[in-house]
Each structure stands twice: as structure tokens, then as C-alpha cells.
Structure 1
Amino acid sequence: MLLSVAAMIGTAAPVYADDPDPSPTNDASFLKEMSDAGLTYHDGSQAVAAAKNVCDMANKGTSESEIEKKLQDVNSFSGNGAKKFIMLAAKSYCPKQLEPDESPAPKAPGQ
């Protein structure tokens, strides 16, 4: 599967991540995790920028499903590639923005 992040980068808003000190080590870990997950890319710096853009979109209130659709529309993800990319991006650059809500469901009155 081929990840073409160049198109997404061209249409992306400025990128900001939760990590106050994004380091090359974090970027290298992200790229290794992408490879380990079976996701390929042409340019590591563009893949990192796209991952940080995922966090920027989440920070602006874009839902995970909207982010996934945008990744599928702009990049050549197949199967669950976009979802994998989102999860890896979140883990590396913005874990608090895209973590599942683990709060208990509200109870109905009288329960």
C-alpha cells in the first residue's frame, strides 16, 4: 500500500502537535511504527507532517471519522490504512486528542 502524503500536505493548515518538544527521535519512532504496521511512504518528512496535521485537525474539533475520510480522499490508503495512520499519529504526536473516551456512560434518572 502506498502512502502519498504530498497532496495532503499541500492542502493542510499549519501543523501544531501536543508534544512541546517534537524531536527527531519521536519522528523516527513514528516512521518505524508506520513501517511495522505495513504502511509505506515516499518521504518521511512528509509522512511526519501529515501525522502532525492529523493532530491539528483533531485539535480544531474534526472528528476521527472526518479525518479518516480526508486521509482516504487525499491519499492512496486502502483497507484500514487511514485508521492505522490516525492511530499511529495520535500515539506519537497527540495521544490526548484522539484517545477513546473511557468515562462511564451517563445513567438514566432513577438508575
Structure 2
Amino acid sequence: MSYAEEIERVAEECRRRSALLLDEFEEINRRTADTSRALAETSAAEMREYWAEHAEEVEKARAEAEEQERLATEAREQREAIARSMAARRANRDVAPIDEEDEEAAFYQRKSWLI
């Protein structure tokens, strides 16, 4: 047997094995796709079943969360209103003269009226 025939035989064996591997990869990819599709369908069905069974609980939890958020908002608004009211009272409690350097105003603002 010559080297050329041996090389040709080895090359043909490599091509045959490559073709077998490619066929095997295609079969694995097909089975993987089938399994993935089946799992996706099963998962979707289980999720629909779960939501159907627990829809009432989920709705109740959502309503409670909304109520807590509403109460928190109301409490924050009340605290802000109280703070504004207290600030307004403090601002109106002490009256400062418009012009502090006014001599006539100084006369009426003196601490003691005893001369």
C-alpha cells in the first residue's frame, strides 16, 4: 500500500467520523429542543394552575399593600401639615419691626417706660 492510498483512507475515515459526529450533534440538539419545549409547556401549565389556585391570596396581598401605602401617604401628609402649622405659628408669634433703625419705633419698643 502506498502513502497516498493510506492518506486517502485516513482522510475518508475522518470524513466518515465527522459525519457521524455531526449527525449525533443534530440528534442531541433536536432532543434538547424537544425537551426544552416540553418543559416550557409544563412550566406554563403549572404557572397557570398556581395563579388560579392562589389568585385570591395574591389579590388580598396586593390590596393590603395598597392600603398600607395609602395609610403611609396619609400619615406623611398629616406630619407635613402639622409641621407647616407649627412653623406658621412660630413665624407669627414673634413680630419684628419693619425698620429696626427707626427712632420712633425704638421709642415704643423700649423695655421700661420708667424714665
User: Fold conserved (TM > 0.5)?
Assistant: no
Query: Normalising to structure 1: TM-score of the pair?
Result: 0.19
Query: Normalising to structure 2: TM-score of the pair?
Result: 0.19
Select the structure of larger CA radius of gyration: 2
Say which structure is richer in helix: 2
